[in-house]
Structure 1
Amino acid sequence: MKCPFCQHTDTQVLDSRVSEEKDTIRRRRRCLACERRFTTYERAELVMPAVVKRNGNRVDYNPAKLRGSLSLALRKRPVAVSEIDAAVTRIEERLLSDGRREVPSQFIGELVMAELFRLDKVAYIRFASVYQSFEDIGQFVEVINQLAGPPAPGDRH
C-alpha cells in the first residue's frame, strides 16, 4: 500500500477490524519511511453483469430499476419492505452466482416473476400482464387458472 503522504510503498498494518455491517475491513497503517499513520478500508468489489435488452442494446445493471419493478407490482399489497429487500438480494445473488458477464433482460424478468410468485399472486399477475404483454382477458384467465391449479377430483364447474 502506497503512503498517501510520501508515496513510499512500504507500510505496516498496525490494526485490522471488521465493520459492524461485516462488509468492510478497516486497517490502521504506518508508513515505514515517514512514520505517519493512515487508515485504509477494504471492501469486496462485486461486478454485476451487463443487461442485454431485447433490442440488443447493453446497459449497466441498475438495482433501482429492479427494486422499482418489484415495488410497482407490489403497490398496495400486504408485503413488507423487508420482504422486497430480501427478494432483491436473492435476485442479485443469483445474477452474481450465475457468473455471466452479460444476461438477457428476459432472464432478470423470469427471476422477478419467480420472486413475485413467492411473495404475492396478485402482484405476480400484474407483473406478468406487462412483462408478457397480455393482449386480452383470456391470457389473464389462463394465468389465474394456472395459479389455482388443476380442479380437485369430483369438482364440477
Structure 2
Amino acid sequence: MHCPFCRSTDTRVLDSRVAEDGTAIRRRRTCPTCEKRFSTVEQMQLVVCKRSGATEPFTRDKAVAGVRKACKGRPVSEGDLARLGQVVEDVLRANGRAEVPAHEVGLAILGPLRELDAVAYLRFASVYKSFQSAADFESEIALLRTDPTVSGPGHDGTSAPDALVPTPQPTG
C-alpha cells in the first residue's frame, strides 16, 4: 500500500476492523517515512460472468438501467430504483462468491422488482424470461395474483395484476 502523502510503499497496519455489515475491511495505517496516518477500505470485487465467457465488474448502475426501462411510465422513483440496486448488490454479495453468472443478476432483480411494481416486473420478466406468447404473460399474471408480497397499485386504485387484464364487459 502506497502512502497517499509521500508515496512510500512501506506502510504499517495499526488496526483492522470489519465494516459495512461484514462486506468490507477498514484498516488504519501509518507511514514510517512521513509518520502520517490514513485509512483504507478493502472490499471484495464482485465480477459478473457473461454467457460469452467474458467477465466484467458488477456495477449497480448497469443493473438499474435495465430496470429503469421496465419502469418507464410507472410510479417508481429514482430513490426506489437506487434501493432496488442496493438490494440486488446485497443479495449477490451475500452468496459469498466473487464471480456471479449474469443469469443470477437477473434472478436477483426479479424478486425486489416484483415487490416494487408488478407491471414493471412483468415488463422486465417478459424480456428476461423470453416470453414467447400471451400464454406466458397469463401464467406469470396468475402467479402474481397469488403472491401476497406483490405491490404497486394501478393508477385507478386496482391492484396492478388485475389492471393488466381487461375485464370482460357485458354485451347487450
TM-score over 0.5 (shorter chain): yes
Give the greater-gyration-radius structure (CA). Answer: 1
Matching residue within 93, 113, 116 for 2:113:
116
Deviation of the 1:41 alpha carbon: 3.9
| Alpha-carbon distance in structure 2 between the residues aligned to 1:8 and 1:54 | 40
Partner of 2:100: helix, strand, or coil?
strand
Between 1:97-106 and 1:37-46, the stretch displaced more is 37-46
Residue 92 of structure 2 aligns with which residue? 95
Whether contact under 8 Å (2:44, 2:98) holds in the other structure is no
State the one-letter code of the partner of 1:92. E
Deviation of the 1:122 alpha carbon: 0.1
Residue identity over aligned pairs, in percent, reads: 28
Matches within 5 A, 1:124-135: 124-135=121-132
Residue 58 of structure 1 aligns with which residue? 55
Q: Aligned Cα RMSD in Å?
A: 3.4
Whether contact under 8 Å (1:28, 1:37) holds in the other structure is no
Gap change, CA 1:126 and 1:10, over 3 Å in 2: closer
Give structure 2 stretches of 5+ with no counterpart: 15-23, 148-167
Whether contact under 8 Å (1:2, 1:9) holds in the other structure is yes
Matches within 5 A, 1:1-80: 4-5=5-6, 7=8, 9=10, 38=36, 40-48=38-46, 50-80=47-77
Whether contact under 8 Å (2:30, 2:37) holds in the other structure is yes
Gap change, CA 1:75 and 1:134, over 3 Å in 2: same
| Alpha-carbon distance in structure 2 between the residues aligned to 1:128 and 1:2 | 46
Partner of 2:53: helix, strand, or coil?
coil
| Alpha-carbon distance in structure 2 between the residues aligned to 1:6 and 1:61 | 30
Gap change, CA 1:64 and 1:37, over 3 Å in 2: same
Q: Which runs of 4+ in 1 moved over 6 A?
A: 27-30
Between 1:78-87 and 1:113-122, the stretch displaced more is 78-87
Partner of 1:43: helix, strand, or coil?
strand
Q: TM-score, normalised by structure 1?
A: 0.69
| Alpha-carbon distance in structure 1 between the residues aligned to 2:52 and 2:114 | 27
| Alpha-carbon distance in structure 1 between the residues aligned to 2:9 and 2:66 | 49
Gap change, CA 1:140 and 1:40, over 3 Å in 2: same
State the one-letter code of the partner of 1:136. S
Gap change, CA 1:146 and 1:46, over 3 Å in 2: same
Residue 19 of structure 1 aligns with which residue? none
Give structure 1 stretches of 5+ with no counterpart: 14-22, 151-156
| Alpha-carbon distance in structure 2 between the residues aligned to 1:6 and 1:70 | 42
Deviation of the 1:58 alpha carbon: 2.5
Task: State how many pairs are aligned.
Answer: 138
Deviation of the 1:57 alpha carbon: 2.9
